[in-house]
Structure 1
Amino acid sequence: MYDYGLSTLTQYGIEVKSSSRTRGALVCRTEQGILLLREFHGSEKKLLFQQEVLKKLSQEGCLVDTFIENQEGSLVTRDKDNIPYTLQNWYEGRECDTKSREDIIRSVQILARVHKFMNMPVEKAYMARSLADEYARHNQEIRKIRKFIRQKGASARFEKEFLGSVQWFLEKGEKALEMLVKSDYEKLRDKAGEEGLLCHGEYNQHNVLLCKNQAAVTNFGHFSFDVQISDLYCFMRKILEKYNWDVFLARRMLEQYDKIRPISSEEWENLQIRFTYPEKYWKLANYYFSHNKAWISGKNTEKLEKVIAQKKIWGDFPENCFGKSPF
């Protein structure tokens, strides 16, 4: 019978009282507390660096999912089938509820606090790629997808919606790239490299566990040295899509972050540029292009239609939110 890696716990000298499945892992209740057992797919070298980041955050009083060494002093443990697993400290709590503005604000405050302590000696291997290069590549991909659909003919609803809207969104993408090149983005990127500033890389509602009196941040596996404000942008974008680009909520999120970790004028400008780029539109188009085109997900089509329906309010959002002075 497949044990989902539970047998590896003997190599830690840990006995499990009970376990339950969660997203891609097992939550184990033990005498040492709640632990998370997960199959490991990454680089062990990067894992060791991640552990150093987590230890530093933990020493600063942040609740994070530090890894536990087995009896041989390794962070990775293999079962009898040679499948690698990791074991992490875990917490009793619930994910951030995106329907709760209180949870949203609390999650922003937690991110600001974590960012204050997320700096390490730079490892060039973990530097994030340039946002300018990323925007240029994404714009090229949108053009490629437009050409592909035009040549084959738009038959599916998704393809028709895409062709009818692509020019408007592509112009927004080109505008964002032009703004980025003219901005102080490279100075921000240089600062991140010089000061060893780290980003979580995937800060969203699923990676924030709200406990009784504290909150834990989890899943740092996508960390990189980068402009930290990118984490705030990623969290805000996913929330604001659900709130129809509510400027009041956006300003409140920015204000709460700024109270703990001040936002510089260069970062403020960078946030405005990031919100100018049609990232969700590109993601949906890219998903279509890289998957089976004989059957196009109805859910993906609905998402595209929602993005198009919100284009006026989304297009006005950067100026309405960031045109005003920072706090």
Structure 2
Amino acid sequence: MKTLIQELINQYDLNVKKHSYNRGNYYITTFEEQYILRKVNMPEEQIWFIYEAINYLRDNNFNKVSTLHLTKKKLPYSMTKGQMYILQTYKEGQEIDFKEIEDSRGVVKLLAEFHKTGTDFNTKYRKSETVEIKDIYENFTKRSKESAMIKKNIVNISQKTPFEVMFLKDYKVYNDLQKMAISCIDLQTSIEVTNQARLRKTLVHNDYNYHSATKIGDEYYILGIDNCTYSLQILDLSNILTKIMQKNKWDIILLKSLINIYEEIRPIQPQEKNILKANLIFPIKYSGICNKFLQSKRRNNYTMFEVKWLNMLEYQEEQIKAAQYILNEL
């Protein structure tokens, strides 16, 4: 067992009973509570931001995120040899599996509760008016152009790799999905939704996936909000729904039920719905493959692309059907 760094513990008001170490984290048991002392690599300003965000959420009755504890010097982090750590209350839970319908419903409901509470948040450490928020319309347009560029490059290659052959066979399907997604929004919609997010000072998790939550008993809890910032909450929702759909072969019935669960707690505005539709239809995995392919310089290292492409093809038919449903029925 790795020895607990006494210099870190001395910075907190803790009476340690026992501890364990795993993957850069210390799990600490005192006579009153359990904690996790986590190594973090983020700016000091971000630590202060998430500290105040957590307090704001908990003060407004969202208690499903762990408290971040201060040191004796009233800092939200401790430090040794230039490395920062944060101390949070810890309870051991079960891992989340998006193939389990109950887990999918639980994490979407949890996200809706987080979003509903995470509005009108003010802090001196960041201004919603000046924070950088990605323009969805411009981003999708840029990604679409990347895909077209790859096709042009591959066509001119005489000796094609298996991946390049597969790409030319199916790329049109995914390019059509990109065009369909872009048709749901325009630059003005993107600007207006972004302005609303700035005005309402909406918090987002910014990295919400099955690693971000845990199940304790019958309840779901957020493990951490390290990347939390001001942005479009609908992006959190679309990202988690896309991940769930990829695990469940784009089950339309499940998708509709998850959106209903979210809206029972945090209603989606019409312009947000357009952003949601665009994000769900846009073939993000295909776009990611294209982006990495453009950056790759070694053609003998394309096995990775083959594997990802084949995994994507497994639910291609269901994804196309789901896209049509989202476009016309959602």
TM-score (norm 1): 0.87
Equivalences for 1:220-299 in 2 at 5 Å? 220-291=225-296, 293-296=298-301, 298=303
The more displaced of 283-292 and 269-278 is: 283-292
- Structure 1 residue 134 displacement after superposition: 1.6
Between stretches 197-206 and 61-70, larger displacement belongs to 61-70
Query: Any idea what SS the aligned residue of 1:323 has?
Result: helix
Please say if residues 154 and 160 of structure 1, whose CA atoms lie closer than 8 Å, have aligned partners that are also in contact: no
Distance 1:214 1:308 in 2: 35
Gap runs ≥5 in structure 2: none
Cα distance in 1 for partners of 2:290, 2:4 equals 36
What secondary structure is seen at the aligned counterpart in 1 of 2:184? helix
| 1:178 to partner: Cα distance | 3.9
Alpha-carbon offset, residue 71 of structure 1: 1.7
CA distance in 2, matches of 1:29, 1:155: 58
Q: 1:258 and 1:137 mapped to 2: Cα distance? A: 31
Q: Are the equivalent residues in 1 in contact too, given 2:64–2:222 (CA < 8 A)?
A: yes
Looking at structure 2, the residues matched to 41 and 56 of structure 1 have their Cα atoms a distance apart, in angstroms, of 23
Structure 1 residue 153: Cα displacement: 5.2
Mapping 1:126-141, distance limit 5 Å: 126-141=131-146
Q: What is the match of residue 174 of structure 2?
A: 169
- 126-135 vs 169-178, which deviates more? 169-178
Provide the residue aligned with 2:20 in structure 1: 19
Offset of residue 241 of structure 1: 0.7
Name the amino acid aligned to 1:66. Answer: T
Contact 1:127 1:224 in 2 (8 A): no
Q: How do residues 68-107 of structure 1 correspond to structure 2 at under 5 angstroms? A: 68-79=69-80, 81-107=81-107
Q: Name the residue aligned to 1:9.
A: 9
Q: Deviation of residue 295 (structure 1)?
A: 4.8
| 8 Å contact kept, 2:2–2:20 | no
Question: Taking structure 2 as the reference length, what is the TM-score of the superposition?
Answer: 0.87
Give distance in 2, aligned partners of 1:141 and 1:250. 29
Distance 1:125 1:20, change over 3 A: farther
Residue equivalent to 2:196: 191
Per-residue deviation, 1:13: 3.5
Letter of the aligned partner of 1:72 in structure 2? K
- CA offsets 1:26-50 (integer angstroms, 9 cap, x no match): 3333335222222221111122111
Cα separation, 2, equivalents of 1:16 and 1:138: 53
Q: Distance in 1 between matches of 2:218 and 2:255?
A: 25
Q: What's the secondary structure of 2:224's corresponding residue? A: coil
Tell me the residue number matched to 1:40: 40
Residue 67 of structure 2 aligns with an amino acid whose one-letter code is: T
1:100 CA drift (Å): 1.4
Distance 1:26 1:300 in 2: 37
The aligned counterpart of 1:204 is 209
| Per-residue deviation, residues 238-292 of structure 1 (Å, max 9, x unmatched) | 1111111000111111111111112223222222111221111111232344456
Instruction: Identify the residue that residue 313 of structure 1 maps to in structure 2.
Output: 318
Moved more, 273-282 or 35-44: 35-44
Instruction: For residue 36 of structure 1, give the secondary structure of its aligned residue in structure 2.
Output: strand
Deviates more, 1:101-110 or 1:36-45: 36-45
Q: What is the CA distance between 1:233 and its match in structure 2?
A: 0.9
Do the aligned partners of 1:268 and 1:322 also contact (CA within 8 Å) in 2?
Answer: no
Unpaired segments of 5 or more residues in structure 1? none
Is the CA contact (8 Å cut-off) linking 1:128 and 1:224 kept in structure 2?
A: no
Q: CA deviation at 1:208?
A: 0.9
* Amino acid in structure 2 at the alignment position of 1:214: E
The amino acid across from 2:77 in the alignment is: V
CA distance in 1: counterparts of 2:329 and 2:194, whole angstroms: 24
Query: Given the superposition, is the C-alpha separation of residues 315 and 218 from structure 1 closer, same or farther in structure 2, using an over 3 Å criterion?
Result: same
> Given the alignment of the two structures, is residue 157 of structure 1 paired with residue 158 of structure 2, yes or no?
no
Conserved? CA contact 1:272–1:319, under 8 Å: no
Q: Deviations over 1:197-253 (max 9, x none)?
A: 121111111111111243211231222322212111111111111111000111111
Following the alignment from structure 1 to structure 2, what is the Cα–Cα distance between the partners of residues 148 and 52?
Answer: 49
The verdict on how the C-alpha distance between 1:297 and 1:21 changes in structure 2, with shifts beyond 3 A counting, is farther
In 1, Cα distance between equivalents of 2:188 and 2:105? 29
Q: Please tell me whether the aligned partners of residues 108 and 253 of structure 1 are also in contact (alpha carbons under 8 angstroms).
A: yes
Alpha-carbon distance in 2 for matches of 1:36, 1:172? 43
Q: Aligned equivalents of 1:324 and 1:172: distance in 2? A: 16
Paired letter, 1:73: K
Within 2, Cα distance between the matches of 1:100 and 1:148?
A: 41
Percentage of pairs with the same residue: 21
Partner of 1:67: 68
Q: Is the 8 A contact 1:116 1:261 kept in 2?
A: yes
8 Å contact kept, 1:158–1:296: no
